[in-house]
């Protein structure tokens, strides 16, 4: 039976002095968890997903109360959360994520010396500290993608709760812990930490082997610096900030300028602009119908943001952008009396933007977008110049006509070097949980541009390779034995 949101406990902070003991318990649980079979771990993940679905009647209202996000959005986010838990279960059962490679001994190996019997697999890193995100109370929080992928990899998780939804974090953690226990998982496999100091203490504890974070550039960089400055540095997978530029060709603007403007408004105002993939800079031809349509766009009114801190941060950056040389307000509604921002469209030209990229090409987390206009009959040189000037991004988008394709190769190549996901005629605010998804990018989008925090490849963050040379079969992990049936590379040939 669901309890009312008013009955949800108000959490107390985890005492920093207790963190070492919690990490030690997690490490012990992790050793037992890593020794379980892939099918057993998959069944446990399914059980957690089932328990979260069953608790939706309690969790969703609490999430609405604490985050101020709409009920429909949060219901969908919980579905995404349980889907990705089950998807990682499928990954475990299939086994290809282990990237197993078997090289049988070969006395005639052409390198000039005999090849020994070598067998390579992946093993869990160990305890992972996950820092929950504020803008996705389910999908990037307690039972979100970082937790799911770490548990799937065979690692215990210490989850540092986000202060924006503490009671929801406690309630979700209770569901997760009960589900783990009922499914037979080791005690202390999942631990909730409350408080910034407890999170930092966990990250520097010698027993912790990795950290994962979704949030601000400043906060993520501070934690990254802690992780890599330890006596024994550990990997830190931080998703930080991104502007997510959208480049519109002249042909596209001429063919469908009004539609592009409507879609842009829908994307940058979605969720009050509180998506890490929100398009923050829209690059369009000068004098095009896109600019005219944006100037007269029917903008939505102010929408509640996650917290007063989010409101303050957005309004500060928006004010700084508005006051920058060469920037004007193209369209804007009326802010709410409490300061909640109305959607705002700012305008600048590409030449001015290029002259001060650091000041103008920046994330404004919330419902504000900067439109940058370029000259030229085709304008691809201007687009390439801007793409070359920007730093790492989660996404970069090209809005174009098929007739543009032959002339856009350089732009696409540059964008692929700047972003983790490059889109063609789509908007970046949807991040599908799939096998091929890449949600990452060069710094400052992330601290580990070679990894993803969304999609099944996220599991590889919490694994490391080990090669066994010359071992008898009985001492090998099951996936390295001759009778193993999972996908693997045998003597250079992919099987099955």
Q: From CA 83, how far away is CA 138, in angstroms rounded?
A: 12
Q: From CA 40, how far away is CA 44, in angstroms rounded?
A: 6
Cis peptide before 444 (omega within 30 of 0): yes
Q: From CA 397, how far away is CA 354, in angstroms rounded?
A: 18
Strand positions, DSSP E, 155-298: 157-160, 190-193, 210-214, 236-239, 246-248, 281-285
Q: Tell me whether residue 94 is one of the annotated catalytic residues.
A: no
The Cβ of residue 10 has, within 10 Å, a number of other Cβ atoms equal to 7
Q: From CA 86, how far away is CA 257, in angstroms rounded?
A: 41
Q: Which of 201, 239, 363, 479 is catalytic?
A: 239
Burial (CB count within 10 angstroms: exposed 0-12, middle 13-18, buried 19+), residue 340:
buried
Q: Which of 276, 363, 364, 479 is catalytic?
A: 276
Is 441:419 a contact under the CB 8 Å cutoff?
A: yes
Q: From CA 140, how far away is CA 277, in angstroms rounded?
A: 14
Q: From CA 241, how far away is CA 216, in angstroms rounded?
A: 6
Provide DSSP, 74-141: HHHHHHHHHHHHHHHHHHHHH-GGG-EEEE--BTT-TTSSPBPPEEEEEEE---EEEE--SS-TTTTT
Contacts of 161 (CB under 8 A, 6+ apart): 11, 132, 141, 142, 169, 170, 173, 192, 193, 194
Q: Tell me whether residue 155 is one of the annotated catalytic residues.
A: no
Q: Tokens for 40, please give them.
A: 């057993």
Residue with tokens 């972003």: 419
Which active-site residues does the annotation give? Answer: 239, 276
């Amino acid at each position: 039976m669901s309890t009312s949101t008013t009955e949800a406990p108000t959490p107390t902070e985890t005492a920093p002095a207790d963190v070492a003991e919690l990490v030690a318990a997690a490490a012990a649980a992790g050793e037992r968890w890593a020794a379980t079979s892939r099918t057993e771990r998959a069944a446990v993940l399914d059980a957690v997903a089932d328990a979260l679905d069953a608790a939706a009647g309690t969790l969703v209202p609490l999430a609405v109360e604490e985050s101020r996000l709409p009920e429909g959005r949060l219901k969908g986010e919980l579905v995404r959360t349980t889907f990705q838990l089950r998807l990682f279960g499928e990954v475990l059962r299939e086994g290809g994520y282990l990237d197993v490679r078997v090289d049988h001994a070969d006395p005639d190996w052409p390198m000039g010396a005999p090849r020994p019997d070598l067998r390579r697999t992946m093993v869990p890193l160990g305890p992972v500290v996950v820092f929950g995100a504020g803008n996705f109370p389910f999908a990037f929080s307690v039972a979100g993608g970082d937790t799911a992928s770490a548990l799937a990899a065979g690692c215990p998780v210490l989850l540092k709760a986000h202060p924006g939804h503490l009671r929801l974090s406690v309630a979700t953690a209770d569901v997760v812990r009960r589900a783990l226990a009922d499914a037979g998982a080791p005690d202390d496999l999942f631990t909730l930490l409350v408080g910034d100091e407890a999170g930092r203490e966990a990250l520097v504890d010698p027993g912790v082997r990795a950290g994962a974070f979704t949030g601000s550039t400043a906060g993520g960089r501070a934690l990254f610096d802690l992780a890599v400055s330890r006596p024994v540095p550990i990997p830190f997978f931080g998703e930080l900030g991104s502007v997510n530029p959208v480049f519109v060709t002249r042909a596209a603007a001429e063919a469908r300028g009004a539609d592009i403007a409507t879609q842009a408004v829908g994307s940058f105002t979605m969720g009050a602009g509180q998506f890490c993939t929100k398009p923050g800079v829209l690059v369009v031809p000068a004098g095009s119908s896109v600019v005219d349509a944006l100037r007269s766009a029917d903008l939505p009114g102010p929408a509640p943001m996650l917290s007063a801190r989010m409101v303050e941060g957005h309004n500060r950056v928006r004010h700084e952008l508005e006051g920058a040389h060469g920037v004007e307000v193209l369209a804007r509604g009326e802010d709410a009396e409490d300061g909640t921002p109305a959607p705002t469209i700012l305008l600048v030209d590409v030449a001015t933007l290029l002259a001060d990229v650091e000041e103008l090409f920046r994330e404004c987390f919330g419902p504000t977008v900067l439109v940058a206009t370029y000259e030229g009959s085709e304008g691809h040189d201007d687009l390439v110049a801007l793409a070359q000037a920007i730093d790492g991004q989660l996404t970069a988008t090209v809005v174009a006509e098929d007739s543009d394709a032959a002339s856009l190769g350089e732009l696409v190549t540059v964008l692929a070097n700047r972003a983790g996901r490059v889109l063609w005629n789509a908007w970046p605010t949807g991040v599908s949980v799939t096998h091929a998804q890449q949600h990452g990018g060069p710094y400052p989008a992330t601290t580990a541009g070679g990894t993803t925090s969304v999609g099944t490849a996220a599991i590889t963050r919490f694994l490391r390779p080990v090669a066994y040379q010359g071992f008898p079969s009985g001492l090998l992990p099951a996936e390295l034995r001759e009778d193993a049936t999972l996908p693997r590379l045998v003597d250079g040939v992919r099987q099955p």
